Amino acid sequence: MASATLKLFLVHGNPKRLRTAELSNWTGKAVAVPRSEIDSILKRDESINPGVYFLTGTDPNTNRPSIYIGEAESVRDRIKGHLGKEFWNHLIFFISKDENMTKAHIRYLEGRLIDTAKSTERAVVINSQGSGSKLPESDREDMEVFLDKMLQVLPVLGVEVFVPTVQKETSIDTKKQLICRIKNLKAYGSLSPNGFVVFSGSQAVLKERESAKKYPTVLAYRTELIQNKYLALKDDHFVFTKDVEFSSPSAAAAVIHGGSANGLLAWKTQAGKSLKDLELG
């Protein structure tokens, strides 16, 4: 993505309360608010406009992040219809300041956003499918530009559902690739903006260590990965079926080792230099 200047306005001076976000030289505008202040957002002029909106929270069945992505010719009217849903605790919506956003435009954006959110698998997407919309080629290109700008702003407002687990530049940079070895198994990964990514095809031990019982979070996360089929059984070990992001190198190494591990020492370059030594320079 190209560099950009973002204007973030804290309406009440509190970064957790009502705020707006605008990029320089862009017709779009984002408005974000916690559910506890939903009345205030419905009184703002922006909410009358057509737009795309996001309801974010936690899925009660899986305890995973969840998101509902919708479109409306009047954001205010549509949000009122979602007040009966319990999962969400935050609202973000985007409008166009030049008022040139049509129903077809917002339906197109909704469909693209739902597809993107499902592809990253970072959250439970409440929508079964997007309405989508076919646009003339010129309009479609305009909306793709608008979409790129939205995807720049959303992480700043706390929504990382649309961020790929591995950025393109990370996945092809083998110089930054690290290796975690245990017994005859190997796992490959790299530092990421949110922690650490273990790449698809990496291996992990089949059985947890006895000491793992002292670290229930390790066991719980391994179980979750197995249930979601991100860790698949192969012969006498597990294999990662997709790129998986962890909160830290140690969290990644612990799942691979089947017990607690110091990620700064466990992850090394091909030449054998540890992550700790790399960070120390």
Residue 162 has pLDDT above 70, yes or no: yes
Instruction: Note whether 162 and 151 are within 8 A (CB).
Output: yes
pLDDT of residue 113: 95
**pLDDT, tens only, 121-157:** 889 999 866 667 789 999 999 999 999 999 999 999 9
- Write the CB contacts of 218 (distance below 8 Å, at least 6 apart in sequence): 208, 212, 254, 255, 258, 259, 260
Buried-exposed string 39-59: b where 16+ CB fall within 10 A, e elsewhere: eebbeeebbebbbbbbbbbee
Q: Quick one: pLDDT at residue 169?
A: 44
Q: What are the backbone angles phi and psi of residue 79, rounded to the nearest 5°?
A: -65, -35
- Confidence at residue 171, expressed as pLDDT on a 0 to 100 scale: 45
**Mean pLDDT confidence for 34-46:** 91
Give pLDDT tens digits for 216-259: 888 888 998 998 899 999 999 999 999 999 999 999 999 999 98
Under 8 Å between Cβ of 64 and 76: no
* Predicted pLDDT at 236: 94
3-state secondary structure of 109: helix
Average pLDDT over residues 206-212: 85
Residues 257, 191: Cα–Cα separation, whole Å: 18
Overall average pLDDT of the 89-102 stretch: 93
* Mean confidence (pLDDT) of the chain: 90
Residue range 167-188: mean pLDDT, rounded? 75
Give the mean pLDDT of 204-211.
89
The edge-to-edge listing of strands for the beta sheet with 178-182 is: 244-246, 195-198, 185-192, 178-182, 267-268
With pLDDT > 90 as the criterion, what percentage of the chain qualifies? 68
Residues facing residue 180 across a β-bridge = 187, 267
- Sorted by where each begins, the domain ranges of the chain are 6-157, 168-280
Q: Which of 234, 267, 233 is nearest to 250 (CA)?
A: 267
Contact 89, 56 (CB under 8 A): yes
Give me the pLDDT at residue 172, please: 42
pTM of the model: 0.77
Query: Does pLDDT of 56 surpass 50?
Result: yes
> pLDDT tens digits for 253-277?
999 999 888 999 999 998 999 999 8
User: What letter does residue 274 receive in the DSSP assignment?
Assistant: B
- What letter does residue 145 receive in the DSSP assignment? H
Question: Does residue 164 register a pLDDT over 90?
Answer: no
CB atoms within 10 A of CB 259: 22
Contacts of 183 (CB under 8 A, 6+ apart): 205
Two structure tokens written together for 105 = 């435009």
